[in-house]
Structure 1
Amino acid sequence: MHFLLVLAHPLQDSFAGAVADTATRALEANGHSVDRLDLYAEDFDPRLAQAERRGYFDDPYDTTGIAPIVERLSAAEGLILVFPQWWFNFPAILKGFFDRVFVPGIAFTHDAARGRIVRKLTNIRLLHAYTTTGSPWWVARLVMGDPVRRLMRRGIAPFCAEGVDFRMLSLHDMDRVTDARRRAHLERITRRLHRVGRAGTLP
């Protein structure tokens, strides 16, 4: 399989970077190919341009400003997202990635007759999100309702092919987490990705 791995963290030496490295090694060790898209390193502009917003319902939608990334996304069979959760949400640059790249004609099309959307990212068969939070697990899940997982599962994964293999793995309480727990988390990611077969499914 060919994967697009999207990294959203401004620090090159971050734990998110270590997660991205770990995921890349695990996938490549099993014969998969990985295209790494580091949003900060590639200076991705998360802002939806005026022309993009005005033409949002144009047919076809003008993807000129994001054409290289659209090409990379369209070539992928699996999508790996690596990011921290800030204020119980996506980093702004990753939210902008969704705003600008998951657009009409690319992620979906409008069904004007029935007022719904039709999936377009049928090439994506596997979608994994590897995240961290500064809060303990019980704050993220019980107090806040795990908003990022909910958005991913209900609002983003459904834009991919029906039945897409969606998984999310979070390391909580990053402000106090030990080196041992960091290593264990990386090992868990490695084990999970080693189970991804060439067909892109987990047993």
Structure 2
Amino acid sequence: MRILLVLAHPLEDSFAASVAKVARETLVAGGHEVDLLDLYREGFNPSLSEAERRGYFDQPYDTAGVDDIVTRLRAAEGLILVFPQWWFNFPAILKGFFDRAFAPGVAFTHDPAGGRIVPQLTNIRLFWALTTTGSPWWIVHFYMGNPVRRLLKRGIAAFCAKRLSFRMLALHDMDRVTEAGRKAHLARVRKALATI
């Protein structure tokens, strides 16, 4: 399977970078082709431009500013995101990735009659998120309602592709996790990805 592995963290020595490294190694060992898109290292600009917003309903939508990423997204059969959750949400650069690359004509098309959008990323069969939170599990799930999982599964994945495998692996309470806890999570990531 050809997998687009997207890393969204500004620090090269972050735990997210370690997760992405383990993910890449495991996937390659499993015979998959991995395209690593490190948003920070590749200098991705997350800001939707005025022209992009004004042309949002144009047919065709102009993706010139993100053509390379759109090409990589369209070539993928699987999408795996690696990112921390900040303020119970995506890092700004990852939100910008969705805003700019998951554009009309790429991730979906507008229903001409209005109403529902029509998924266009039919090439994506697998959509996983490997993430961390600074908050404990119970705050993320019970107090906040696990907003990132809902956005990814019910919003982005469901509206952009059909019949895909969705999974989210999260390490909670990241700021207090021990070295042993981090190693155990990396082993969990390795084991999960080895099943793909």
- CA deviations over 1:51-92 (Å, ceiling 9, x no partner): 000000000000101000000001000000000000000000
Q: 2:47 aligns to what?
A: 47
- Per-residue deviation at 1:114? 4.3
TM-score (norm 1): 0.95
CA–CA distance in structure 2, aligned partners of residues 132 and 195 of structure 1:
21
TM-score (norm 2): 0.98
Contact preservation (8 Å) 1:121, 1:159 = no
What RMSD over aligned residues (CA atoms) do the two structures have, in Å? Answer: 0.7
Q: 2:87 aligns to what?
A: 87
CA–CA distance in structure 2, aligned partners of residues 66 and 170 of structure 1:
29
Contact preservation (8 Å) 2:118, 2:160 = no
Amino acid at match of 2:105: G
Q: 1:18 aligns to what?
A: 18
CA–CA distance in structure 1, aligned partners of residues 67 and 82 of structure 2:
22
- CA deviations over 1:160-183 (Å, ceiling 9, x no partner): 431110000100001100111111
CA–CA distance in structure 2, aligned partners of residues 193 and 159 of structure 1:
24
CA–CA distance in structure 1, aligned partners of residues 160 and 126 of structure 2:
9
Q: Which runs of 5+ in 2 are unaligned?
A: none
Amino acid at match of 1:109: T
CA–CA distance in structure 2, aligned partners of residues 90 and 98 of structure 1:
10
Q: 2:4 aligns to what?
A: 4
Contact preservation (8 Å) 2:107, 2:161 = no
Q: 1:134 aligns to what?
A: 134
Amino acid at match of 1:112: P
Q: 1:31 aligns to what?
A: 31
Partner-residue secondary structure (3-state), 1:89: coil
Amino acid at match of 1:74: R
CA–CA distance in structure 2, aligned partners of residues 192 and 85 of structure 1:
20
Q: 1:115 aligns to what?
A: 115
Question: Would you say how many aligned residue pairs link Structure 1 and Structure 2?
Answer: 196
Q: List structure 1 runs of 4+ shifted beyond 4 angstroms.
A: none
